[in-house]
Structures are given as structure tokens and as C-alpha cells.
């Protein structure tokens, strides 16, 4: 029954459609580009300036966005779009943001170890011993391979680690 | 012909150097492992390995990265056949009949035919590359800025026509990529576009963080919270031997897939993905028993696998001969070559013959390595799939951060990767193809420069594009394809996508 109602919702329910929303975002993005592009001389058709091509592209993007909106009436209703992974995805992104912020402050090895402990221990709730082994093994091992063997400079924290 | 043969022999003398052989071998192994990991396709693999090639000589760097590329193409097929998990998008069609064969206890022949098809297609593709790239490069010496402008525009129109999904959305993504390519210093005026006073953005947005974010991070975000992968079958060496009937059924699809894949590979877009869909559609149409497709038809494995490998090789033709990437993978490889101060393009074959012919010869070697290595070791490789996804994805994320940071030792690239990852996730949820973004990013500065140079040459007269025969031919061809792409949109008719099982172009 749930499936049937879901399909009906997709086919007949009112409200915004996915392509109408995404097309609208494209139009908004085009408008933002046009706004920031006003700092650059556009020049003329014969002698284009640095703002010419970005303006042309923004107009193209806005135009395509408009067509996407107009043709989007048959697409999936926003209300029926499913986002089951969204919360987990947001947590993953926030953890990555924290790791990036810490990378040059506490060094690669500590950041990576803490990052893996968070994911394996807190999110995935794995056994503490395996969490510690993976976190220590990955952070030290990858530092050795990439930093020491391949000589790619990786950030080291204030404690020299 | 004699010149080509002599050049190839010179290439083999480079490719058979122990160090080059060793890196080709490592590239194939790393690529196979990367291709087997869900969330890490060839693009993410190459992007992450890119910083490690900075210290290598350019020949070894490109041999290593191309080994990763075609190794990943092969690795993706292994997981498709054994577990119905396409390691990368081009293997989606292999899942259909490959996994059906596995369920019937015929995983061995499916894996063997995939490997043989990949080998034949790779080898034929290299022969095509060897014959076509020098000819195309000498032709391209006649190209000036108007021809390059026309070529880039034609490429974008072809991309719209050949896109796997909605033409409108593909164009929107290509324009978004072109706009991203506008970020940074304008070489003709010295103005800095859209840098928001962030010094690192003065150099523009790099292809690596964008590619890793759009393809690697967004994949992990999409699969977040999924259950562990199912159990894996491990065929023995004896089970890998295909029967005579299997071989007989596969010869035609392999040859057709190789030819088709190579031709599609030269065209911009997600060539290896499209080629596998088109090949599957053609084989199903040509078959006397189309009802077998979807239920374990070996032709459904042989055709798409050959096509996607030949397309991977075909993509190197415009990259090496014209210096123009046809997709995100070749865009990253182009960046890898340019890091070493080498400018790919028409002069590459004349100025760096050892690099070009060494690369061609190493591709032959790589194909042999893949065939010899992968089949006997398939049992070993699939052990990687036993690692629970809960352990795998945090490590992949850490690798993504490490790889992006290493490109220029800057957290700016990591921030860009995360932003692109978030954007990529949302775009995928709304059904947008991400490959044109990466392609547009690389083509954007080229297009702007060649357009403005053309107009400077002509004193602002746009007729320069119709006065030059090569430029006008390419523009007309591009516009015809754009017209064909728009036709189903305007007249609500079906186009080529529906006949090969790709998405409706309007949706």
C-alpha cells in the first residue's frame, strides 16, 4: 500500500518538482555569477573583456535553468524524494570538515587517527581493539608510505608527531 | 608504416626498462584494487596517486597512472561479476549478465571472458592509438585559435548529444564546469576572477580536488549507512577456463565492442560508460536469442567489457594528439603530464617521441600484465572485498583528504574537495551527471583564451570562424549534433538513448 500511495504521490501530488527546484537553483547560481561579475569589464562583442565569457556562461546557465524549470513538471515531487542517507552524509561531511581544520594544527598522524577512531568507534561502534589497531596502523602506515617513502611533505603537529 | 614500426620499437626499448616495467606492474595492481573498491573508481584512484608521481620522471608517471586507469577498468568488472557491485560506472552493464552467470555457478567463464575481451580491446585500442594519434597530431598543426575554439565548442555539443542522461542537465553541468574554470587569473588581462580574496584561488580550481570531491566523496555520501557487501564467490583456476561455445559466442561481441568502444572513446563525454551501454544494446539487438540477455548471456559480458576498455584507450588519442581531454580521467592525466613541464598537443609526438612511443608500448605491456596477473590472482584480489564497508569507507575518506592535501600541500584543495563532494551528492540526488563538470573545468580556460585570441586575430570579426574551413566544418558538425540532441526535447520523440537502455533524455 505504501508503494502504491508513493507512486500516486509521485504522479499526481502537487507541490514543487525536483527539476523545478534544481532548475531554480541553477537560475539563482547564474544570478550570483552575474552579480559578482559586475566587477570585471565585459568589453564589447568585438573586444571582449575579462567579464565577457563568465557573463555569457552565466546567461547560458540561467537559460538552461529556466528550461529545466519549465520542463520539470513531470519529474518527481520534492515531497516524495527520499533522503535516507542524508543524516549520515551530513555527519561524514562534518567529520571531514573537522579533520581538515585539524590537519595543519595537530599534524597528519594524530588527525587521521582521531578521524578513524571517530568513524569506527563512535559511528560504526566497532570493537575498541580493532578501532585502535586500524586507526594506528592506517595513520602511521600511510604516513610512512606517502610521507617517508614517496617523500610527499605531510603536516606535522606541534609535538613533532 | 616503417617509421611507425621503428618508433614503436623505440617505445618498446623504453617500456622494457626494468623500472618502467615495474611501475606498469604496480599501476595495474593498484588500479585493479582501486577498481574493486566501491567508491573508488579509476578517476579517484588516479587523482589520489597523482601527488606520488611528482617525483618520478614523466614517462614513468604516465605509465603508472595509465596502468591504474586500465587496471581499475578491469577491477570494476570483477566486483560486477562476483557481487553485482560495479566498482566504477562503466561496469554497470557487466553486472546484468555477469552476476546472472555467477548465480548459475559460471563466474569463472564470465571473469575469463571479461579479461580476454579487455585484453583484445586494449590491444586493438593501442593499435588504433598508434595509427591515429600521429596522423591527428600532424593535422592539428594547422590549428590556430579559431580552430581550437570550434573544436572545444564541438566537443561540448558532442558531449550533450552523447550524454548518458538528460541533455539539458548535461549541458547545465558542462556550463557549471566552464564557470568553475573561470576562477583564477585571467591570462589576457591580469584580472583575478571570483577568488574572493583567497590567494590560493588565484591559480584557479584544481581538477584533482574537484574530481575526488565529485566522484569519490559524493559516492561515499550516497552509500552512507548501507549494509555490508554480500558474500563473495572465489572461482578456482580450473573454473576460469571458458568452454568452446563461450569463446565462439564471445568473438563477435569482443570485436564489435572493441571497434565501437575505440570510436566512442575519442569523443568527449563519459565515453567508457556510454560505450558499454551502446555495446550491450547492439549485442542484444543482434542476438538470435535476445531473451537470454539479463539471464546470463556471455555476449552481455564480452561486448560491454571490450567496449569500455577500448574506449579507455581511445580517450588517449585526443589527449595526446591535441592536448584536449575528453573526460575527467584524461583531464587528470593531462595535469599529471603538465606538472612535469610537458605540454601535450600536436608537437608532443615530435618533441617527446620517447614519451609518446614509450607510453604506447607500455600500454601493450600493461595489457599483457593485466591478463597474466589478474586471472590467476582473482581469488587473492577478491579478499579485499571481505573487508567490511564500515572499515573501508573511513579509510577511503582519509585517503581522499591525504591525496588532495598532497597535490599542493594546501588545505584549500581539501576544502574544495569537501564542497564539491557535498554539491556532487546533491546533484546526484537530483539526477545530474557529474562528468561534464570536471570536463568543463579543464576546457573553460582553454575556450576563453582561444575565443579571445581568435577575436584579437580578426580585430573583433566573428566571421573568422566561418572563413576558416576546418573551424567551420567543426562548428557545423557540432551544431548538427546539438540540433539532433534538441530534437527529442522539442518533438517529444525518442532518441538513441532509449534504444540502448539509457535514461529518457527529458527526465
CB contact under 8 A, A53 and B506: no
H-helix segments, B183-291:
207-211, 218-222, 244-266, 271-286
* A72 and A91 share one domain: no
Give the containing element (helix H, strand E) for B179.
helix B167-182
Cβ(B136)–Cβ(B324) below 8 Å: no
Q: Is B193 helix (H, G, I), strand (E, B) or coil?
A: strand
Residue A48 lies in a domain: yes
> What pLDDT is stored for residue A106 in this prediction?
93
B263 Cβ neighbours under 8 A, 6+ residues apart: B314
Looking at residue A101, what is its pLDDT? 94
All residues of chain A having their beta carbon less than 8 Å from the beta carbon of residue B224 are 85, 88-89, 92
Q: Is the pLDDT of residue A67 over 60?
A: yes
Residues of B in contact with A48 (CB under 8 A): 451-452, 455
Report the domain count for chain A.
Answer: 2
B460 with A45: Cβ contact below 8 A: yes
Co-location of A76 and A94 in the same domain: no
Same domain membership, residue A92 and residue A59: no
Q: Are residues A69 and A90 in the same domain?
A: no
A1–chain B nearest CA distance, Å: 25
pLDDT at residue number B40 = 67
- Residue where the block lists cell 597523482: B50
Can you give the pLDDT at residue A3?
Answer: 36
User: Is-contact B327 B315, C-beta < 8 A?
Assistant: yes
Query: What pLDDT band is residue A93 in, cutting at 50, 70 and 90?
Result: very high
Cα B171–chain centre separation? 19
Which domain does A35 fall in, by range?
2-80
Please tell me whether residues A71 and A21 are part of one structural domain.
Answer: yes
Q: Does A35 touch chain B (CB under 8 A)?
A: no
CB B86 within 8 A of CB B76: yes
- Contact yes or no for B69/B46 (Cβ under 8 A): yes
Q: What is the pLDDT of residue A26?
A: 96
Q: Give A139 to chain B, closest Cα distance, Å.
A: 9
A109 belongs to a structural domain: yes
CA B197 to chain centre: 34
Residue in the structure block whose three cell numbers are 559524493: B218
Tens of pLDDT, residues B215-266: 778 888 888 766 555 455 666 666 677 888 888 989 999 999 999 888 878 7
pLDDT confidence of residue B87: 57
Nearest-CA distance A47 → chain B (Å): 6
Q: Which of A33, A54, A87, A137 to mutate to test the interface with B (most CBs of B within 10 A)?
A: A54
The reply to whether A32 falls in a domain is yes
Query: What is the nearest CA distance from B108 to chain A, expressed in angstroms?
Result: 33
Domain co-membership, A65 together with A38: yes
Name the average pLDDT for chain B: 81
| Cα dist from B115 to A41, A114, B111, B124, B271, whole Å | 56, 41, 6, 14, 20
Tell me which range, A26-40, B174-188, B320-334, is most confidently predicted by mean pLDDT.
Answer: A26-40
- Tens of pLDDT, residue by residue over B400-436, are 898 888 877 889 999 999 999 999 999 999 989 887 8
Q: What pLDDT is attached to residue A6?
A: 36
Cβ contacts of B498 within 8 Å, gap of 6 or more: B504
Q: What is the dihedral of CA B342, B344, B350, B353, to 10 degrees?
A: 70
Report the sign of the C-alpha dihedral through residues B169, B170, B174, B180, in that order: positive
The CA distance from B168 to the nearest CA of chain A, in Å, is: 7
**Bigger pLDDT: B268 vs B364:** B364
C-alpha cell at B93: 552493464
Considering only CB atoms, which chain A residues are within 8 Å of B507?
A: 74-75
Residue B354: exposed, middle, or buried by beta-carbon count in 10 A (0-12, 13-18, 19+)? middle
Q: Give per-residue pLDDT as tens, B189-220.
A: 888 888 888 888 888 898 878 888 887 788 88
Instruction: Evaluate whether residue A137 is within a structural domain.
Output: yes
The partner residues of A43 in beta bridges, in order of sequence, read A48
Position B272 confidence tier, pLDDT thresholds 50, 70, 90: low
Mark which residues 78-97 of A lie under 8 Å from B by CB. Answer: 81, 83-85, 88-89, 92-93, 96-97
Of B169, B186, B402, the CB nearest to A142: B402
For residue B398, give the nearest of A22, A47, A116 by CB distance: A116
Question: Inter-chain contact B398–A138, Cβ cutoff 8 Å?
Answer: yes
Contact B168 A67 (CB under 8 A): yes
**Which of A80, A108, A139 is at the close of a domain?**
A80
- For residue A45, pLDDT over 60 is answered with yes
**Residue A161 domain flag:** no
Q: Which of A31, A52, A80 lies at the terminal end of a domain, its last residue?
A: A80
Computed on alpha carbons and rounded to an integer, the radius of gyration of chain B in Å comes to: 22
**Block residue for cell numbers 573511513:** B394
pLDDT at residue A99 tops 70: yes
Residue with the larger pLDDT of the pair B472 and B369: B472
Closest among B277, B1, B38 to B164, alpha carbons compared: B277
A10 pLDDT band (50/70/90 cuts)? very low
Supply the pLDDT for residue B93. Answer: 77
- Please determine, for residue B492, whether its predicted confidence score (pLDDT) is greater than 80: no
The confidence score (pLDDT) of residue B294 equals 80
Are residue A71 and residue A95 in the same domain, yes or no? no
Q: Which of A64, A66, A147 to mutate to test the interface with B (most CBs of B within 10 A)?
A: A64
Q: Is the pLDDT of residue B453 over 70?
A: yes
How far is the C-alpha of B170 from the C-alpha of B502, rounded, in Å?
Answer: 14
Could you count the other beta carbons within 10 Å of the beta carbon of residue B487?
A: 14
- A residues 94..153 contacting B (CB < 8 A): 96-97, 99-100, 103-104, 108, 112, 115-116, 119-120, 124, 126, 134, 138-139, 142, 146, 150-153
- Whether residues A18 and B193 touch (CB distance < 8 A) is answered with no
Q: What is the pLDDT of residue B66?
A: 82
Please provide residue A154's backbone torsions phi and psi, each rounded to the nearest 5 degrees. -115, 150
A91 and A39 within one domain: no
A1: pLDDT strictly greater than 50: no
Tens of pLDDT along B60-104? Answer: 888 888 888 878 877 878 877 876 666 566 676 787 788 888 888
**One domain, residues A73 and A37:** yes
Query: Are A60 and A9 within one domain?
Result: yes
Query: pLDDT for A140-160, tens place per residue?
Result: 998 988 888 777 788 998 887
pLDDT confidence of residue B162: 64
A74 within some domain: yes
What is the pLDDT averaged over residues A42-51?
85
Q: Within 10 A of A76 (CB to CB), how many other CB atoms are there?
A: 18
- At residue A32, the pLDDT reads 96
A16, A72: one domain = yes
Q: Which residue among A56, A80, A104 closes a domain?
A: A80
Highest mean pLDDT among A107-111, B221-225, B294-298, B384-388: A107-111
Of the candidates B171, B391, B460, the beta carbon closest to that of A134 is on: B391
Q: What is the distance in angstroms between the Cα of A106 and the nearest Cα belonging to chain B? A: 13
Q: Quick one: pLDDT band at residue B501, thresholds 50, 70, 90?
A: low
Asked if residue A156 belongs to a domain, the reply is: no
Confidence at residue B158, expressed as pLDDT on a 0 to 100 scale:
74
Alpha-carbon span B275 to B258, nearest angstrom: 10
- Judge if A6 and A67 occupy the same domain: yes
> So what's the pLDDT on residue A5?
36
Q: Encode pLDDT of B344-361 as tens digits.
A: 777 887 788 888 888 888
Asked if residue A154 is part of any domain, the answer here is no
Amino acid at each position: 500500500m505504501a508503494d502504491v500511495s508513493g507512486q500516486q504521490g509521485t504522479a499526481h501530488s502537487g507541490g514543487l518538482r525536483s527539476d523545478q527546484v534544481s532548475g531554480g537553483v541553477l537560475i539563482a547560481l547564474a544570478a550570483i555569477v552575474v552579480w559578482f561579475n559586475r566587477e570585471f569589464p565585459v568589453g564589447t562583442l568585438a573586444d571582449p573583456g575579462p567579464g565577457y565569457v563568465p557573463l555569457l556562461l552565466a546567461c547560458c546557465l540561467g537559460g538552461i535553468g529556466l528550461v529545466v524549470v519549465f520542463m520539470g513538471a513531470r519529474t518527481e515531487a520534492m515531497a516524495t524524494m527520499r533522503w535516507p542517507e542524508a543524516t549520515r552524509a551530513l555527519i561524514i561531511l562534518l567529520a571531514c570538515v573537522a579533520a581538515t581544520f585539524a590537519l595543519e594544527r595537530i599534524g597528519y598522524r594524530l588527525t587521521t587517527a582521531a578521524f578513524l577512531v571517530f568513524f569506527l568507534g563512535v559511528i560504526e561502534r566497532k570493537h575498541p581493539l580493532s578501532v585502535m589497531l586500524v586507526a594506528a596502523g592506517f595513520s602511521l602506515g600511510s604516513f610512512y608510505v606517502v610521507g617517508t617513502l614517496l617523500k610527499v611533505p605531510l603536516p606535522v603537529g606541534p609535538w613533532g608527531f | 608504416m616503417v617509421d611507425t614500426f621503428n618508433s614503436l620499437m623505440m617505445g618498446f626499448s623504453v617500456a622494457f626498462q626494468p623500472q618502467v616495467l615495474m611501475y606498469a606492474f604496480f599501476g595495474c595492481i593498484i588500479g585493479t584494487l582501486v577498481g574493486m573498491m566501491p567508491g573508488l573508481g579509476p578517476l579517484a584512484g588516479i587523482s589520489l596517486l597523482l601527488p606520488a608521481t611528482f617525483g618520478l620522471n614523466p614517462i614513468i608517471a604516465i605509465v603508472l597512472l595509465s596502468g591504474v586507469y586500465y587496471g581499475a577498468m578491469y577491477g570494476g568488472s570483477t566486483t560486477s561479476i562476483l557481487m553485482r557491485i560495479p566498482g566504477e560506472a562503466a561496469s554497470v552493464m557487466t553486472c546484468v549478465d555477469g552476476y546472472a552467470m555467477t548465480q548459475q555457478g559460471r563466474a569463472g567463464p564470465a571473469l575469463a571472458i571479461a579479461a580476454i575481451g579487455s585484453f583484445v580491446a586494449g590491444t586493438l585500442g593501442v593499435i588504433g592509438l598508434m595509427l591515429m594519434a600521429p596522423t591527428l597530431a600532424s593535422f592539428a598543426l594547422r590549428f590556430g585559435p579559431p580552430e581550437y575554439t570550434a573544436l572545444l565548442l564541438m566537443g561540448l555539443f558532442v558531449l550533450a548529444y552523447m550524454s548518458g542522461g538528460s541533455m539539458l542537465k548535461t549541458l547545465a553541468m558542462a556550463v557549471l564546469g566552464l564557470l568553475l574554470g573561470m576562477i583564477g587569473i585571467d591570462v589576457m588581462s591580469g584580472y583575478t576572477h571570483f577568488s574572493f580574496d583567497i590567494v590560493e584561488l588565484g591559480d584557479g580550481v584544481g581538477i584533482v580536488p574537484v574530481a575526488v570531491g565529485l566522484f569519490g566523496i559524493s559516492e561515499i555520501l550516497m552509500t552512507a549507512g548501507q549494509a555490508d557487501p554480500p558474500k563473495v564467490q572465489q572461482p578456482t583456476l580450473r573454473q576460469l577456463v571458458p568452454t568452446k561455445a563461450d569463446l565462439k559466442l564471445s568473438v563477435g561481441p569482443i570485436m564489435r565492442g572493441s571497434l565501437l568502444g575505440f570510436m566512442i572513446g575519442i569523443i568527449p563525454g563519459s565515453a567508457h560508460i556510454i560505450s558499454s551501454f551502446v555495446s550491450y544494446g547492439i549485442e542484444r539487438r543482434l542476438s538470435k536469442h535476445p531473451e537470454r540477455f539479463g539471464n546470463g548471456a556471455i555476449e552481455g559480458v564480452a561486448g560491454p567489457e571490450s567496449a569500455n576498455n577500448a574506449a579507455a584507450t581511445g580517450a588517449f588519442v585526443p589527449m595526446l594528439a591535441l592536448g584536449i581531454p575528453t573526460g575527467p580521467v584524461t583531464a587528470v592525466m593531462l595535469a599529471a603530464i603538465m606538472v612535469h613541464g610537458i605540454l601535450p598537443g600536436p608537437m608532443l609526438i615530435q618533441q617527446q617521441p620517447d614519451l609518446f612511443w614509450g607510453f604506447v608500448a607500455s600500454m601493450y605491456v600493461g595489457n599483457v600484465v593485466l591478463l597474466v596477473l589478474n586471472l590467476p590472482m582473482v581469488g587473492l584480489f577478491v579478499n579485499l572485498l571481505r573487508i567490511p564497508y564500515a572499515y573501508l569507507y573511513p579509510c577511503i575518506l582519509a585517503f581522499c583528504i591525504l591525496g588532495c592535501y598532497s597535490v599542493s600541500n594546501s588545505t584549500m584543495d581539501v576544502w574544495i574537495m569537501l564542497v564539491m563532494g557535498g554539491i556532487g551528492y546533491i546533484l546526484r540526488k537530483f539526477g545530474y551527471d557529474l562528468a561534464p563538470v570536471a570536463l568543463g573545468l579543464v576546457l573553460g580556460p582553454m575556450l576563453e583564451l582561444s575565443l579571445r585570441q581568435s577575436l584579437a586575430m580578426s580585430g573583433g570579426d566573428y566571421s573568422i570562424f566561418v572563413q576558416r574551413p576546418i573551424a567551420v566544418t567543426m562548428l557545423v558538425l557540432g551544431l548538427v549534433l546539438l540540433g539532433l540532441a534538441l530534437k527529442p526535447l522539442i518533438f517529444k520523440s525518442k532518441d538513441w538513448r532509449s534504444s540502448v537502455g539509457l535514461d529518457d533524455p527529458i527526465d
